[in-house]
Amino acid sequence: MIDQNSTLAGQGSADANPQGDQANNQTMESLLQSEDLNVDLPQTGEIRKGMIASIGSSQILVSIGAKSEGVINSRELEQLTAEERAELKVGQEVSVYVLRPEDDNGNVVLSFKRAMEQISWENVEKMIADEVVVDSKISGFNKGGLIVPVGTLRGFVPSSQVSANRRSQSTGETPEQRWQKMVGQNISVRIIEVDRERRRLILSERAANTESRSSMKERVISELEEGKVYTGRVTSLAEFGAFINLNGADGLVHITELSWERIQHPKEILEVGQEVKVKVINIDREKRRIGLSMRALQDDPWKSRVEQFSVGQLVEGTITRLTKFGAFARLEGDVEGLIHISELSETRVEHPKEVLKEGDLKTLRVIRIDADQHRVGLSLRKVDSAAFADKDFKLLTQEFKDQGE
């Protein structure tokens, strides 16, 4: 039997403690908020692992761990081959690409095709770095060469990259006469150029057929010396850099080592087959990797631009960016320097926006020049510093003298 007195006493104590209710409500609210923060919401362009929840004639539902299931719609299903659709089963784990985090019905819109394509591009980028030989079949041709699939991607083997033995069979005046009989034949290729943005995948049968590539690379690595300059030939291009063949072994020029100027893709300055000079900057004999640099053979333009500045000098600078740790200013000669937040004012500053805004033209003092790291340190608070009074007076005197002459 329930003790009514104890129940009433409990109610009385609860009524008498409204602060306790408030504390409980706040605790519950904070728990709900933290739970919301922990929900891993999908983002456009993201590839996720999911589980097929159901398969219908017009859509497939995939559970991807978000609050609602993702949808593969009918338009996406039409792009799948009959074989690809037949392989899909309820409960199967699949990779999906997030097209839209939420449609008009609150569903996450997903794509199988885009996921497979993205994964394939990532795979071929790794293959070119690892110098992998890919075994495939010739699926087609055009007037310039052969079409060979690599995963879900269509690769192209230019006629110049077809092996001598196969080229000897390509007789005839038309592409059909030269290449048609090769469709369906097995072929081994190496990837020599990857350009995801242009959907360009260039392959070479000749590079894959080079005899004793492994032993040749070991011999070349044993002969190379760090710090020395060699002449090589560009064998392949990828978003992260260019591969250069040195006496039979490929070394990598990372994109940051191609030029002092910032570039988006090696194709901007190089092409396959081009002869170039490179400096060996690293040799990993255990992993059999050769690190090369073209930039090391070029004059550093930053150093020539910064020669006009000296520590303690007053300069004019345009504020270009504000960050929580300071502000960036562009100086004459397109040199960018940093005003650390501690150099903005004699008083404490929580954020640079309290003192500056983008586009401001300010007089600043150069307090540090690091040529190796390409960094210039600037100060706003030291512009009127007594510590630099003598230097300012001498520079001003020299300016008047130069003007008088």
Of 213 and 366, which is predicted with more confidence?
Answer: 366
- Helix pair 18-38, 4-15: axis angle to 10 deg: 80
pLDDT digits (tens, 9 = 90+) for 337-348: 999 999 999 899
What is the pLDDT of the chain when averaged over all its residues? 81
**Domain spanning 47-114, CATH architecture:** Beta Barrel (2.40)
Is a pLDDT exceeding 90 seen at residue 146? yes
Cα separation, 203 vs 144, in Å, equals 13
The pLDDT assigned to 35 comes to 42
The band of 177, judged by pLDDT with boundaries at 50, 70 and 90, is confident
pLDDT in tens, 281-303: 999 888 888 999 999 998 888 88
* Per-residue pLDDT reduced to its tens digit, 222-256: 888 899 999 998 988 888 999 998 877 889 999 99
**pLDDT of the residue at 68:** 60
pTM over 0.85: no
Q: What's the pLDDT at 269?
A: 93
Query: Out of 2.40.50.140, 3.30.2010.20, 3.40.190.10, 3.40.50.11540, which CATH number does the structure's domain 214-297 have?
Result: 2.40.50.140
The label of the residue with tokens 């404490």 reads 348
The ranges assigned to domains in the chain are 47-114, 131-208, 214-297, 303-400
pLDDT of residue 393: 62
Architecture of domain 131-208: Beta Barrel (2.40)
Residue 253's pLDDT is 95
Residue 87 pLDDT exceeds 70 = yes
Model confidence at 184: pLDDT above 50: yes
The reply to whether 47-114 and 131-208 are identical in fold is yes
Give the ranges where 238-351 is alpha helix by DSSP (H).
Answer: 301-306
pLDDT at 292: 95
Contact 352, 344 (CB under 8 A): yes
Higher pLDDT, 344 or 169: 344
Q: Give the model's confidence band at 396: pLDDT under 50 very low, under 70 low, under 90 confident, else very high.
A: low
- CB-count burial class (<10 Å; 0-12, 13-18, 19+) for 48: buried
**Inter-residue contact 316 to 362 (CB < 8 Å):** yes
Confidence of residue 278 (pLDDT cuts 50, 70, 90): very high
Residue 13 has pLDDT above 50, yes or no: no
**In CATH, what class is 303-400?**
mainly beta
